[in-house]
Structure 1
Amino acid sequence: MSSTDSRYLAELRRQTMRTLRGVIGPTTDVAILDAPNQRNVGDSMIWAGELAYIRKLGMRVRYVADSRGFNARDLRAAMPEGVVLLHGGGNFGDLWPTHQLHRERVVSELREYRIVLLPQSVYFRSREAASRANLALGAHPNFTALLRDRESIARAQIDIPSVSVDFCFDMALGFEPRTPTHPSTGRVVVVARRDHEGISGLAEIPGDWLGEADLVRTDWGPIAGIAGLRWKVDRALVKIDTKLVGWRRGRLRLRAIHRISERAIHDINALNIANALRLYEGSDFVIVDRLHAHVLAGLLGIDHIALDNSYRKVGSVYDEYSGRLTTARYATDINSARQMANELMAR
């Protein structure tokens, strides 16, 4: 990474620390809910950044649960006082309803806690869903939603006007990955969405899209080998805890199982990140339409080209701050991305 980018990231992190101190307040204990436990490396990078900021703020994580493993009584037992943090990302709205319904449940069940939604993008397609979210979140006496781009803040003013919001840089920028140790091999990595947010066309490019270039195409693919087996075991442990979360007999045993589940969640995210770092290792440059595939390339100092998702989640963050990284380029369509890629190969 260039010294210019290092200084820029250091300033973003300082500003983020100031924002978090202001909105979380003088607590020492926090809980993190909606913790990621799937293959999305972007969520794992956000998670890593969240934990890094929490450590720097001198706070202790007393309780962790994903959207299905949360139990209000267990949280109160583990953290009688403190602040509840909801995991950041790009699922504030109705495109990913499981996460939105979870946070609406959390604010209804934990009215005595200060609750902070860590930086998110906001997008509602349905007026009904937006109104429900506005009613639920706005009714909490001490809830703040941190939003990671000005377009989301503008949407929030329309869709959830009763909710207190503030700006904060994306949490993944607090993640400091190890720098690449292998020289470039000429390989070009393509990370392309294959879900309902993907509109760039990057997922459909053929293997010879860049001629003779060694093109590796993926969408944060599965983890191979022993690490992949470990990932599956971790997922199974989290699922066992989820099934037992409503069972109120044998509470000591239940808490012990939940502690195992919390460790498994940490391991799942560490394995995701390690797999992404292996994918990027030795690449000449990368082409992506996932926000955090772009962020990871920037953090590693790798040249890259970013395209957008269905509602400018990438573009809005890129335009405001992540696009200032010297390795970043933004393509408005697949043809301009190909032209930029050819220019990078011709250097």
Structure 2
Amino acid sequence: MLTGRDRSRLEALRARTRQTLLEAIGDVREVALLDMPNQRNVGDSLIWAGEIAYLRDIGIRVAYTSDIGGYRAEDVRAAMPHGVVLLHGGGNFGDLWPGHQAHRERILAELPDYRIVQLPQSILFSSDESAARADAALVAHPDALVLLRDDESIERARVQLPSAQVRFCADMALGWDAPADAGPRRDGDVLVIARSDHESASGLAAVGGGWLGDGPVRVTDWGAIGGWAGVRWRIARAVTALDRRLVQASRRWGTPRLRIAHGLAEHAVARINEENIRAAVALYAGSRLVVVDRLHAHVLACLLGIENIVLDNSYRKIGSVFDAYTGGFSTALYASSVDDARSLVEGLVST
């Protein structure tokens, strides 16, 4: 559970986010939400849940959703002749995750008659050519707004996306409400969530179960979901895979999309994200504190009221968000290295 101070801080962040969304969306009451997450990444799922919660809170109806494989411009137009198109937030704006960037630029090109709002992202372009292409896609669209969730991304945008209309907005995962019965256990273990992909830079994945000597440590990442929840997750993924093949066929043959198939796919994507979050909350259950180098492993711990020590990723995505607002939670500490993190853990465990 959050302390009174942390609860007040969270509500203040949420109030500012709701106001930003109202101003960004304008006076329409319907939106499409595109690039919905469809994978085993709890961070994207938390962002999705926060987006849905914020839109509900401000009275906006989501008329259409799709993941990358299920998107068709004509389906957006059929479901929502008028409204605003929202693009899912996160950390994939740039050339680090090129598939999502290509999808984003395709939507900008295919839906020029809709206002398009990119929900809060961190950005990183390592290639000037990629940045110029993204800037051109944004300037070609008559009404596009990019929300960015940290000051360093805003600074990068000024250099790499000079034509873009940008505005600050806190990460949308902060709109998700934690279960009332979730929280830390004083006698629990230390949980380490460590990434091993191309954003990893902390060295946290190399620590083992004996990192703290005799102290209990679990080292993992967002892994597969087991039991019946895993069965439900895999069924939902199979539904979205089938829908993707149907979409490909409809594009190839120029035939209408089956509305029932899209409805099932929307439901399946929602189930995938719900199961991701449920499994993450269960993973945290019983933990005294967590040590992480994933942004949303840190955010989840803050929302659950669990003490957490965070190390950065390869391009300071985490540190920039921490400096801007999540570092203000009383449960959050920043570590500059694995050794620093261990010292902080030992200090917290001994108190």
TM class, shorter-length: over 0.9
> Which amino acid in 2 is paired with 1:277?
V
Deviation digits for residues 89-144 of structure 1, max 9, x if unmatched? 00000000000000000000000000000000011111111011011112100000
Could you tell me the percent identity over the aligned residues?
54
- TM (norm. structure 2) is 0.97
SS at match of 2:100: helix
| Matched-pair contact (CA < 8 Å) for 2:30–2:84 | yes
Which residue of 2 is the match for residue 255 of structure 1? 259
Q: Distance in 2 between matches of 1:63 and 1:85?
A: 10
Deviation at 1:253, TM superposition (A): 6.5
Which residue of 1 is the match for residue 28 of structure 2? 27
Deviation at 1:57, TM superposition (A): 1.1
Q: Distance in 2 between matches of 1:345 and 1:87?
A: 38
Cα RMSD of the aligned pairs, angstroms, is 1.3
Deviation at 1:67, TM superposition (A): 1.4
Which residue of 2 is the match for residue 337 of structure 1? 341
Deviation at 1:186, TM superposition (A): 2.2
Deviation at 1:185, TM superposition (A): 3.7
Q: Distance in 2 between matches of 1:182 and 1:21?
A: 35
Deviation at 1:20, TM superposition (A): 0.5
Which residue of 2 is the match for residue 97 of structure 1? 98
Q: Distance in 1 between matches of 2:255 and 2:267?
A: 19
SS at match of 1:120: strand
| Matched-pair contact (CA < 8 Å) for 2:114–2:143 | yes
SS at match of 2:249: coil
Which residue of 1 is the match for residue 308 of structure 2? 304
- TM (norm. structure 1) is 0.98
Mapping 1:157-306, distance limit 5 Å? 157-179=158-180, 180=182, 183-248=185-250, 254-306=258-310
Which residue of 1 is the match for residue 109 of structure 2? 108
Deviation at 1:154, TM superposition (A): 0.2
Deviation digits for residues 178-197 of structure 1, max 9, x if unmatched? 14167444211111111000
Which residue of 1 is the match for residue 14 of structure 2? 13
| Matched-pair contact (CA < 8 Å) for 1:71–1:246 | no
SS at match of 1:51: helix
Aligned length: 347
Q: Distance in 1 between matches of 2:259 and 2:74?
A: 11
Q: Distance in 2 between matches of 1:284 and 1:6?
A: 20
Deviation at 1:17, TM superposition (A): 0.6
Deviation at 1:225, TM superposition (A): 0.5
Q: 1:323 aligns with which of 307, 327, 335?
A: 327
| Matched-pair contact (CA < 8 Å) for 1:5–1:326 | yes
Deviation digits for residues 188-213 of structure 1, max 9, x if unmatched? 11111110000100001021011112
Deviation digits for residues 37-56 of structure 1, max 9, x if unmatched? 10110000000000001101
Q: Distance in 1 between matches of 2:127 and 2:278?
A: 37
| Matched-pair contact (CA < 8 Å) for 1:307–1:331 | yes
Deviation at 1:219, TM superposition (A): 1.1
| Matched-pair contact (CA < 8 Å) for 2:183–2:306 | no
> Which amino acid in 2 is paired with 1:113?
Y
Q: Distance in 2 between matches of 1:66 and 1:137?
A: 21
Q: Distance in 2 between matches of 1:182 and 1:205?
A: 22
> Which amino acid in 1 is paired with 2:90?
G
SS at match of 1:247: helix
| Bigger shift: residues 247-256 or 56-65 | 247-256
Deviation digits for residues 70-95 of structure 1, max 9, x if unmatched? 10011111111110000000000000
| Matched-pair contact (CA < 8 Å) for 1:122–1:155 | yes
Mapping 1:69-80, distance limit 5 Å? 69-80=70-81
Which residue of 2 is the match for residue 314 of structure 1? 318
